[in-house]
Chain A
Amino acid sequence: MSLWEYANPVKFMATSGRILPACAVLAGLVTLVGVCWGFFATPEDYKQGATVKIIFIHVPAAMMAINAWAMMLVASLIWVVRRHHVSALAAKAAAPVGVAMTLIALFTGAVWGQPMWGTWWAWDPRLTSFLILFLFYLGYMALWAAIDDPDTAADLTSVLCLVGSVFAILSRYAVNFWNQGLHQGASVLRAGAVTGSDTEEKVSNVYALPLFVSMAGFFLLFLALVLMGTRTEIRARRIKALEARARMADA
């Protein structure tokens, strides 16, 4: 049983069709539980008051915005090296989901920044690289739409994806490179906390637990939407092939 079996569209369609309903239901449930738990069942923060509740949308969305690009990069590289069409289509299907996550993160960040920092937007390294990532998403989708030949489109978008990865990485790690920014560093997934060298509890468990549930929910949501999008792309390509064959038969 190898992962590469799913390069076969028939095999991919069969398996993804079985996974998708469960994944979609689970995504809805987990996201609902995480967000509702965060919104209605957490106490107010000692400094931020009720505004802290934006974290349950902002952080999962920002996390998935960056992870979506990472997934597109892996899928694009598989396409360039191994020429599996399903992989290229999965990258294509992930872009609209990623751009939606990016937009959610930018919007909730602005709404959060206004009362806390005193501004909707600042040209902080992290915020700026996130905005550029958003523009890269738009450019990526535009490039897919602009080129008729599917293989050329997949090649070119793969290269664009590789270049855009710089900003995906920057928007996650900019706070570590340039510490003189406005955006604070990672609270939950700090380097020290993951390796165990820094045991100080920065985010109280009261907030961390619903946040983790919400993150899991957003991840499942992304998975379900990408599976659905990839299936649609595969079907659309099959229709194109059938139409071409019908034209050939008519001629």
Chain B
Amino acid sequence: MAGLKGLKKKRRVQVLMVAALALVLSAGLIGYGFRDGINFFRSPSQVMESPPAPNEVFRIGGLVEEGSIVRGEGETVRFSVTDGGAVVPVEFTGILPDLFAEGQGMVGTGSYDGRVFVATEILAKHDETYMPKEVVDALKEQGVWEEPEPEPES
């Protein structure tokens, strides 16, 4: 970088501009190229559209469908995950995180055999809402509490 020292101010600004432009362009291209790979999970619609091979391990994310949780014998839990478009049944054996509930976002790791998604790990997704417990309880008592609408997963 002995180069920068010997340059006039005008040329230094030009070098900076070109460097910044190249950086923005390359970052944009990398981001565009990896746009699917960078996503942490796939949505149920994506899984239904192009079902992955039965031995492929991937993550699926969406909302736990209302009324779909069935607790079987032992620690096995069955439920459906949805993004509004498609519904994928999920089976999981293990301990669920605190935030896991119907109507809440979740991300599961596992594989899909064409019928059911067998998860080895379930993570809960938190939304952007923070509310005091007392306020929610009071609203529920008055019957005016509305579950905040989670962002639709695309």
Residue positions of A touching B, CB distance < 8 A: 42-49, 52, 55, 77, 80-82, 115-119, 122-125, 151-152, 155-156, 159, 162-163, 165-166, 177-182, 184-187, 190, 202-204, 206-207
Contacts and interface: CB of A to CB of B under 8 A. Distances in A.
Contacts of A163: 23
Contacts of A49: 133
| 9 nearest A-B residue pairs (beta carbon) | A118-B97, A46-B136, A43-B132, A180-B39, A187-B128, A155-B1, A181-B40, A203-B130, A155-B4
Interface in B116-154: 121-137, 148, 151, 153-154
Given A116-B99, A117-B97, A118-B124, A179 B38 contact: no
Interface stretch (B11-19, B48-56, B63-71, B72-80): B11-19
Contacts of A207: 130, 132
A152 B5 contact: yes
Contacts of B31: 177
A82 B131 CA distance: 49
Contacts of A48: 98-99, 126, 130
Nearest to A51: B98
B35 A180 contact: no
Q: Tell which of A43, A47, A49, A207 has the most Cβ of chain B within 10 Å.
A: A47
A165 B23 CA distance: 10
Given A45-B132, A180-B41, A116 B98 contact: yes
B42 A180 contact: yes
Nearest to B139: A46
Given A118-B123, A155-B5, A180 B40 contact: yes
B123 A202 contact: no
Residue of B19, B121, B124 with most partner-chain A CB within 10 A: B124
A52 B35 CA distance: 32
A118 B122 contact: yes
B111 interface: no
B96 interface: yes
B20 interface: yes
B109 to A, nearest CB: 10
Interface string B95-118: 011111000000100000000000
B1, B100, B148: which has the most chain A beta carbons within 10 Å?
A: B1
